[in-house]
Structure 1
Amino acid sequence: MEINDPIVLRDHSPEVISHYVQWLYRGVVYNLNENQDTLSEEFDRLTELYVLGHAIKDSAFQNNIIDALIAATEKYNRYPTSLVGRVHAQLPKKSKLWLLLVDMWAFRGKESWITMERTRVASNQHSISDVVRAPAEFWQDVNMALWAVCDKEVED
């Protein structure tokens, strides 16, 4: 992409672009508390914003989105596994958002997450588990991160 090449935004909703413009002027990333969305909607919106940041090559904006995702996971103690497929499809391999999701599972993951997913599927709250929908490449990266930690502990 050359400096004077146009940036095509047809894949991004006016609402997402509006959130970006608000960030430019206010320096504040879209916030769940301001808009009364569910946590799942917040994770989805933040992912859309990150994808927009990638499209327009605004790494400062992307870093702010990463910070907002981390803050949401810490505040609500929930981790957005449902985003893995979308991140895999819409962003380059090993994007910062992909690596964040891998790290969340590798360093914060718990057996209870899998158990909860199974329960949600069994009770028909979901037709297919978010865990099952995650691409195999994601689980390979999670395993590699876990093994790296184990290797480091053995060396120490």
Structure 2
Amino acid sequence: MKLLNRSPYLKDIQHQISTYIPLPDAQPEVFSIYQQWLYTRGLYTKMVVKEAALGSFHSSHRDEWTKLTESYLLGHKLADIDFRDRVIDGMLEWLNETTNYTYDLSMVVDNIAQIYAALKDPPEDHPLRRLISDIVSLEFTDAMIQKMVIDRKGELPGGFLLNLVSKLSAKSGTSTPSSNCPKLPELREACHYHCHGKGECYREK
């Protein structure tokens, strides 16, 4: 019942279902993250210390980004705005850790094709699309962008490339004082990448 109360998508189709919910694209681990959010309002995407010790920190960091993006897409499917906004905040926390510890940021485009395919209905300036293109345009070096285009030739969605070119063009046209440069994603206001629009932020509920 808690799930039905939170998801407009499930409310719309509840007359078609009994106890079975058709979510063919959702991995059990990702759905578990959503369930924990429903009951605790916490976002649990990090590997536990014991699991993290089995592999490299880079690998666990990559896994966390994948969980975050897939959690967001599940929230999009279920039309749960609060959950999506909490996941976005998790992404910004992840980004802050990544830049502080100089992890490789190239993983943010690992599943960019999946993201663009899943978010085909919203306008081009969808918050998650905007966040990823901001990360690439503002956090990637020129060498990283060139390598990304070469290594992922044919994988990068046209919409993403057009958005990226626009942002890189705007960035190159800024004057040198830092006050006039675009803000890095982790320095933006809390709700800049949220979906709630003029509605109340989950932080205030």
The TM-score normalised by the length of structure 2 is 0.60
What are structure 2's unaligned runs of at least 5 residues? 1-8, 15-20, 53-58, 181-205
Aligned amino acid, residue 90 of structure 1: A
What are structure 1's unaligned runs of at least 5 residues? 119-127
**Is structure 2 residue 151 aligned with structure 1 residue 129?**
yes
CA distance in 2, matches of 1:136, 1:55: 23
Match of 1:106 in 2: 137
Q: How many residues align?
A: 146
Return closer, same or farther for 1:151/1:114 CA change in 2, 3 Å cut-off.
closer
Paired residues for 1:3-152 under 5 Å: 3-6=11-14, 8-34=22-48, 36=52, 38-77=60-99, 78-79=104-105, 80-92=108-120, 93-114=124-145, 129-130=151-152, 133-150=155-172
Larger radius of gyration: 2
8 Å contact kept, 1:82–1:134: no
CA distance in 2, matches of 1:73, 1:16: 20
CA distance in 2, matches of 1:147, 1:48: 30
CA distance in 2, matches of 1:40, 1:132: 22
Match of 2:203 in 1: none
Return closer, same or farther for 1:21/1:60 CA change in 2, 3 Å cut-off.
same
Return closer, same or farther for 1:70/1:83 CA change in 2, 3 Å cut-off.
farther
CA distance in 2, matches of 1:130, 1:30: 30
Q: Secondary structure at the match of 1:139?
A: helix
Q: Which has the higher contact order (CA 8 A, sep 6+)?
A: 2
8 Å contact kept, 1:43–1:83: no
8 Å contact kept, 1:22–1:28: yes
Return closer, same or farther for 1:14/1:89 CA change in 2, 3 Å cut-off.
same
Q: Bigger CA drift: 1-10 or 140-149?
A: 1-10
Return closer, same or farther for 1:32/1:112 CA change in 2, 3 Å cut-off.
farther
Instruction: Name the % identity.
Output: 25
Return closer, same or farther for 1:85/1:2 CA change in 2, 3 Å cut-off.
closer
Q: Which runs of 4+ in 1 moved over 2 A?
A: 1-8, 33-37, 92-95, 114-118, 128-133, 146-153
